[in-house]
Amino acid sequence: MFGLFNQKNAAELSYYGLHALQHRGQESAGIVTADGTSLYAYKGEGLVRNIFSQQEIDKLKGNHAIGHVRYGKKDTGGMLNVQPFMFKSTNEEFALCSNGNIVNAKEIQTYLEREGSIFQTSSDGELLAHLLKRERGDMMSRLKETMNYLEGSFGFLLLTADALYVATDKSGMRPLSLGVLADGGIVVASETCAFDVVGATFMRDLTPGEVVRIDSSGILSEKFATRTSRNMCSMEYVYFARPDSNVEDVNVHEARKRSGRVLAEEAPAPTADLVIGVPDSGLSAAIGYAEGAGLPFEIGMVKNRYIGRTFIEPSQALREQGVKMKLSVVSKVVKDKSVVVVDDSIVRGTTSKNLVTMLKNAGAREVHVRVAAPEIKFPCFYGVDYSNYEELISANLSNDEIREKIGADSLGFMSVTGLTRGIGRPADIGNHCGQCTACFDGDYPTHLYSNLEILEKKR
């Protein structure tokens, strides 16, 4: 998500901000602007660069904006689910977009439908608009009241004609930061890498349970919950965030590099000749592994920059095809060598099996797979696209069975304590250093409501 307030070229800067955040979602994108009186919207399916032309950008009037790139899931919903959503009633108009997942969405929607609400999308972000209309008072007080109904992992941007509102969940599970432009314009982004692209300076991260209003009078911050905790999603550091982003004051590249060094301690490969990383999110960890193991780091795989991220493609068939299209092996580097290949994580095993096959076909003598994250054994109900046990290879097979299935000569994962040590968040900010590790150890930071049914099937 990306937002701007009080900036004359808001639509154009939002385009660049969303382009910087494209790695967070490839399915669709949209921008809504405001000029103090009205809202203007344009959105579509596909990549940011393919949706917006200069002509469309010029139509988005106003000095305020919010934008969104959508993370593809199985139930995509087509154009109906493309954010930001627009809502208009007799006395107000606003747009909103969200990141994450509301775990009690089913319960809230059932209640609202019984009360007469009709939903247009399958996105749980629409819940916020329906709840807001049931509250009285100004937008700030209504938001604070509404956010208390929601449980899970989420951030919201809400734009009216003359104000921008930002809200985060009580567990602080998704990154969201404030920045400032040279002329005083305020920027909000899911990752700090977007600030660099638009020339903004980082101000601070939003805190769990915080609601912020940005308008002509300045920035107002209030808490909607008194009981909050820090549980930043570990996969932000492992996979989602760009290496040049800082997530709650921890640089992602440095966190991955430290994790690689820890991985070298926990899962050495004594017969290895060299270390390579899987582009892009495995490269930083591979550099750290090579340093920790005292082995040379080489560029053994090259990524086709015009192919997207296979993990977030919405179907298994597209994932498998995407792996073959996006990576190629530097044969002269790996031929006749015992190779350690470091990847960020293993979810379904699709990528790992293809990588091992490609390396061995290129002449690698041995392939030792090392994973800079623990085994993913539990579903994620907070917005990452693995919400059942069936698609998690580590939930169904032992490590040795996985090694055999992907064709590796050896396989090693990080421990949960190794990951928290590698990421390097302060130890005094909560369990697991204030990180959510639920997909690794089943320690969910919130109540799961009807999602417990999925969990109990395996347990």
Residue range 197-223, pLDDT digits in tens: 999 999 999 999 999 999 999 999 999
With bands split at pLDDT 50, 70 and 90, how would you rate the model's confidence at 459? low
Domain 235-458 in the same topology as domain 2-228 = no
Q: Given this model, what pLDDT does residue 453 score?
A: 83
The answer to whether residue 301 scores a pLDDT higher than 80 is yes
- Percent of the chain whose pLDDT exceeds 90: 85
Cα 111 to Cα 117: distance, rounded to the nearest angstrom: 9
Can you give the pTM of this predicted structure? 0.93
Q: Of the CATH numbers 3.40.50.970, 1.10.390.10, 3.40.50.720, 3.60.20.10, which one belongs to the domain with range 2-228?
A: 3.60.20.10
Q: Given this model, what pLDDT does residue 318 score?
A: 52
Q: Given this model, what pLDDT does residue 322 score?
A: 54
Strands 93-102 vs 85-88: parallel, antiparallel or unpaired: antiparallel
Q: Given this model, what pLDDT does residue 12 score?
A: 97
Q: Given this model, what pLDDT does residue 130 score?
A: 95
More reliable by pLDDT, 84 or 74:
84
- Write out the chain in H/E/C secondary structure: CEEEECCCCHHHHHHHHHHHCHHHCCCEEEEEEECCCCEEEEEEECCHHHHCCHHHHHHCCCCEEEEEEECCCCCCCHHHHCCCEEEECCCCEEEEEEEEEECCHHHHHHHHHHCCCCCCCCCCCHHHHHHHCCCCCCHHHHHHHHHCCCCEEEEEEEECCCCEEEEECCCCCCCCEEEECCCCCEEEECCCHHHHHHCCEEEEECCCCEEEEEECCEEEEEECCCCCCCCEEHHHHHHHCCCCCEECCEEHHHHHHHHHHHHHHHCCCCCCCEEEECCCCCHHHHHHHHHHHCCCECCCEEECCCCCCHHHCCCHHHHHHHHHHHEEECHHHHCCCEEEEEECCCCCCHHHHHHHHHHHHCCCCEEEEEECCCCCCCCCCCCCCCCCCCCCHHHHCCHHHHHHHHCCCEEEECCHHHHHHHHCCCHHHCHHHHEECHHHHCCCCCCCHHHHHHHHHHC
**Domain boundaries along the sequence of the chain:** 2-228, 235-458
Residue range 367-415, pLDDT digits in tens: 999 999 999 999 999 999 888 999 999 999 999 999 999 999 999 999 9
With bands split at pLDDT 50, 70 and 90, how would you rate the model's confidence at 430? confident
Range in 25-39, 67-81, 118-132 the model is least confident about: 67-81
With bands split at pLDDT 50, 70 and 90, how would you rate the model's confidence at 73? low
Topology adopted by domain 235-458 = Rossmann fold (3.40.50)
Give the mean model confidence (pLDDT) for residues 144-168: 97
Give the mean model confidence (pLDDT) for residues 261-282: 96
